[in-house]
């Protein structure tokens, strides 16, 4: 059954106080993907706010497009579609520093 990605919702979670400790568990970005009647959850292991910006930033040029532009509306029927989408995100958003981290959370959700 072919579905299209209808929504990618990003949830920023953070401790009440972020310290200078080298501890990646002080904040997190949860990712929810909705495609038809299917829903999945993922998590990004990266700085959450720059990852959110990689999703919504304005387009700058061909290799600096927001991840949302590639992902939203994309068909998802099987694992091969996820591989195609991964390649498209890499080629269209490769100049966005956090794009790979954000894609990881989306891919886990898919």
Domain enclosing residue 105, as ranges: 3-109
Range 92-97 average pLDDT? 90
Q: What is the pTM of this model?
A: 0.90
Residue 24: which CATH number?
3.30.390.10
61-70 residue pLDDT tens: 878 999 999 9
Residue 79's Cβ-count burial label (10 Å; 0-12, 13-18, 19+) is exposed
Neighbours of 104 (CB within 10 A): 18
pLDDT band at residue 97 under the 50/70/90 scheme: confident
Angle (deg, nearest 10), helices 48-56 and 99-109: 90
Q: What percent of the chain has pLDDT over 70?
A: 97
Domain count, the chain: 1
Range 73-78 average pLDDT? 95
pLDDT at 102: 95
pLDDT at 14: 86
15-55 residue pLDDT tens: 888 778 777 778 899 999 999 999 999 998 788 999 999 99
């Amino acid at each position: 059954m072919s579905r299209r990605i209808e929504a990618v919702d990003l949830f920023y979670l953070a401790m009440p106080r972020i310290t200078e400790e080298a501890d990646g568990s002080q904040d997190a970005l949860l990712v929810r993907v909705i495609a038809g009647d299917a829903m999945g959850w993922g998590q990004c292991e990266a700085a959450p706010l720059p990852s959110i910006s990689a999703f919504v930033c304005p387009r700058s040029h061909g290799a600096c497009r927001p991840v949302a532009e590639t992902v939203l509306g994309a068909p998802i029927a099987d694992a091969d579609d996820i591989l195609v989408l991964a390649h498209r995100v890499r080629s269209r958003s490769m100049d966005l520093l956090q794009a790979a981290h954000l894609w990881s959370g989306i891919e886990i959700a898919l």
